[in-house]
Structure 1
Amino acid sequence: MAEHESHQSNDSPLLETVSLFQGLAPAERQEVYQAAHHRAVEKGELFFVQGEEAHTLYVLTQGRVRLNQLSPEGEQVLLRVIVPGQLFGGVAVLSGTAYPAAAEAVVPSEALGWDGETMARLMERYPAIARNALRLLAERIQELQERYRELATERVERRVASAVLRLARQTGRKVEGGILIDFPLSREDLAAMTGTTLYTVSRILKRWEKEGLVEAGRQRLLIRSPHGLVALAEDLPPALEAPS
């Protein structure tokens, strides 16, 4: 099925959970929803490409999307995982810049989209949207600053633990035995995200498996001890065993 777009006419309760539209009355959310267009793409297709002039911000309604950025060295870096209810492409549209990354559907995915002109009109009509947008921009800047700090100051194992926990928050789900990162995740992804090598990531994951922290598959990661990873990410001393 090729990607397609259409306009919506019915209300969507999903907008109640979207940070950009917090504080709007039901009738106001209805107007925002009716101003959107619906877009569906197949697995492996792109909502937008890196470097393209930003024209539309999206809210994912179904599926999974990965934001990939191509480094100057030609290395693909996983920046973020988008799940239903989350906004993507918004920072670029709201700041009037090009998309800094590509948005790839990992599975067949659907989203609501608003072009920049429509969103500007909605912000003028409903100042709460503009206030929320400023807050979201500030949060994203803070997140980027934290990522840079990690790369500049933290040892590799701590960076990998932080990245795994970040992905778990974005797309993890509780299963028997722990938390499964419900997203195709390769060791190359983790290496690129944390500024290290594939060999180093493989070595760390192998040690974590021996310690019972994780169970690593080809493109899956089960976190068996979330508290253990938190201790590594926060550089806490190992817990002392109680005396017998």
Structure 2
Amino acid sequence: MQIVAWNDSLKTDIDVVDQQHRGLVELVNATAAKLADAPELSADEVRLLLGYLTEYAQVHFSTEEALMALCGLEAKQSDVHHQSHARFLAQVGDMVEALGEDGVLDGQRLLMFLGDWLVDHIQGEDQVVAKALRAAQASASPTGGKTTALPSDGMASWEARAQALMVPTATEPSFSDVVAQHSAALLASEAGVLEMCAHGEAPALIVSVDSALMPSTILHANTAAADFFGESADALSTQHLANVLAPDEALRFPVLVSEVLMAGRFEGRLHCRVAQGAAVPVWARLTHLALHGQMVLLVLLRPALSEADAATVGVGERLKEDSSVLSRHALFRGLTKVERDGLESASRLMRMPKGKVVFNRGDAPHGVYLVISGQVKLAVSNARGAEKVMDIAGPLQVFGEADALTGSAHTVFAQALTASVLLLIPQAPLLALLTRSLPFSQAVLAHLGRRYHAVAADLEAFALQTGMERVIHHLLAHARINGHGVLEAVLPAQKQIIASYLNLTPPTLSRTFQQLSEAGLIEMSGRYVRIPNKRRLLNFSTD
């Protein structure tokens, strides 16, 4: 049984992308065939399939984002694609969470999700991006050559290795064997990206990341990088990234990685040390790759990029101001570059596994926490174990700021709801900046004022609004127009956490969502809630 047959309409003419897409199509068809023979997948089979999808997302999405970086696609073209990738990962993560240790996940629901993804992403979004990639490659090549003109060395090439793993066996393979074959072929395709980097004209470094998410050893360097740094590729591949950069650049690593994790890339100046020891400013683009199941960084350099050249390759305006995760938040947006650099050099990344407590109620503050990825709940509890969620902090939101800036002990506890990455901006440089920077002081006052109004609005809602009204207003507060032009709310956490935040019981929240769905006012798909008609939804709350 086939859900989708591999055909020319699915091809992007980018070999490594097509190889990965075809693997997913074949696995979807294998899943459909399995469900045609049996009504359900076993829990182990679902776990195996979800494991592959997680692996596929990490490898395939990093492949596409690396290609966008290699071809110099502008931010507006890559941002939508990055958001689509994040959505897929979130939906797979939700299904993994729903399965649990002994849970059951509907195989037909999983198959429907994958079928929709094949149509919307591969036949839609990927074709648009592939067209832009081919155009960028053609404009950069005097011969207008194909984007994926990679050297081939027969069975030693990554394509041949990947295809060899998919050779049919004499006996009918089990479903677990099919998933394992596709997983091995997916990992083999990683070499295709390495070949593209190796033969690229721009200096490229592939850098490992340590347990603290900091750039570490250079794993691969292409010929262009060897020429730029004045060392052989082999010599570069034994060094720490910090050794080929100016001394102060290593202090920026936490913020550079934060930007990559949050936006899919960092773009800005890096000062590199060349053979003569001089620090040379270059325009750099960093993105992430999946290599052997681990995250690594792809560092692309554009030496001697003039203002005119920058305009030609689409980074003219961005040369004037480096991208920074701190500049994305209103608290730090008004800082001068020197002030922001000072905070960035003092900051550090924190990896928080699910359930890890960031700080407890009564602890002394260490600084302000900026969420890079994941979610953190801020809550209070009593001796009887009752808990009230006071707030939910997601990407690009801060918490702990009132305590850090006033020197007061924490009044709530903070706990990671999912595996999360936080940027800790220490208290001391923040307090020093508060005393000497009027714009920062004004930003702090404005931020705390917004916090006060938000708390006042919550208290009013708890006292005067019905449960239905609170749910509707919560949905609309989180609603945005998505890439398809549809108003959509993304639930910031699991339903029991949202119920606590809205001062509802979980069953009441579930009944409210069901009532809104049956009335045709919302369409729920996991954490994503589509709102077909905002006015009808608002009016429903007053019926």
Residue range with higher mean Cα deviation, 99-108 or 32-41 = 99-108
1:191 is the counterpart of 2:499: yes
d(CA) in 1 for partners of 2:420 and 2:498? Answer: 24
Match of 2:380 in 1: 70
Matches within 5 A, 1:1-244: 4=212, 8-9=251-252, 13-60=324-371, 62-72=372-382, 74-166=385-477, 168-169=478-479, 174=482, 179-181=488-490, 183-186=492-495, 188-216=496-524, 220-225=527-532, 227=534, 228-232=536-540, 235=542
Q: Secondary structure at 1:100's aligned position in 2?
A: coil
Deviations 1:67-99 (A, max 9, x none): 231344633333333233222111121233222
Q: C-alpha distance in 2, partners of 1:103/1:173? A: 30
SS at match of 1:85: coil
1:145 Cα deviation from its structure 2 partner: 0.6
Change (3 A) 1:5 1:58: farther
Greater helix share, 1 or 2? 2
What is residue 288 of structure 2 aligned with on the other side? none
Cα RMSD (Å) of the superposition?
3.1
What letter matches 2:513 in structure 1?
L
Query: Does the residue aligned with 1:59 lie in a helix, a strand or coil?
Result: strand
Q: Alpha-carbon deviation of 1:182?
A: 5.3
| TM-score normalised over the length of structure 1 | 0.78
Matching residue's letter, 2:251: Q
Distance 1:24 1:190, change over 3 A: closer
Shift in Å, 1:151: 0.9
User: How far does residue 63 in structure 1 lie from its aligned partner after superposition?
Assistant: 1.0
Q: Provide the TM-score with structure 2 as the length reference.
A: 0.38
**SS state of the match for residue 468, structure 2?**
helix
Asked whether the equivalents of residues 369 and 423 of structure 2 are also in contact (C-alpha less than 8 Å), the reply is yes
Aligned equivalents of 2:499 and 2:327: distance in 1?
36
Q: Distance in 2 between matches of 1:87 and 1:230?
A: 29
Higher relative contact order (CA 8 A, sep 6+): 1
Aligned to 2:49: none
| Higher alpha-carbon Rg | 2
Query: Contact 2:404–2:427 (CA<8 Å) still a contact in 1?
Result: yes
Q: 1:5 to 1:79 in 2, by over 3 A?
A: farther
Q: How far did residue 232 of structure 1 move? A: 4.4
8 Å contact 2:375–2:393 — kept in the other structure? yes
Report the Cα distance in structure 2 between the residues aligned to 1:101 and 1:8, rounded to whole angstroms: 31
For structure 1, which runs of at least 5 residues remain unmatched after alignment?
238-244
- Cα deviation for residue 173 of structure 1 reads 7.5
Distance 1:147 1:197 in 2: 17
- In structure 2, the CA distance between the partners of 1:28 and 1:68, relative to structure 1 (3 Å rule), is closer
Question: Which whole-Å CA distance do the structure 2 matches of 1:3 and 1:232 have between them?
Answer: 50
Are 2:377 and 2:416, in contact at CA under 8 Å, matched by a contact in 1? no
Q: Aligned with 1:119: secondary structure?
A: helix
Q: How far apart are 1:150 and its partner, in Å?
A: 0.8
> Partner of 1:78: helix, strand, or coil?
strand
**What is the CA–CA distance in structure 2 between the aligned matches of 1:30 and 1:118, rounded to whole Å?**
11
CA distance in 2, matches of 1:53, 1:67: 18
Give the whole-Å Cα distance in 2 for the aligned partners of 1:98 and 1:162: 32
- TM-superposed deviation, 1:153: 1.1
> Would the aligned equivalents of 2:391 and 2:501 in 1 still touch at CA under 8 Å?
no
1:139 CA drift (Å):
1.1
Deviation at 1:155, TM superposition (A): 1.9
Code of the aligned partner of 1:205: F
* Aligned-partner SS, 1:202: helix
- Residue type of the alignment partner of 1:196: L
User: What's the secondary structure of 2:408's corresponding residue?
Assistant: coil
Partners in 2 of 1:192 and 1:109 — Cα distance?
A: 21
- Find the aligned partners of 1:119 and 1:173 in 2 and give their Cα distance: 35
Which residue type is aligned with residue 47 of structure 1?
Answer: V
Decide whether the 8 Å contact of 1:163 with 1:190 is kept in 2.
no
Deviation at 1:20, TM superposition (A): 1.2
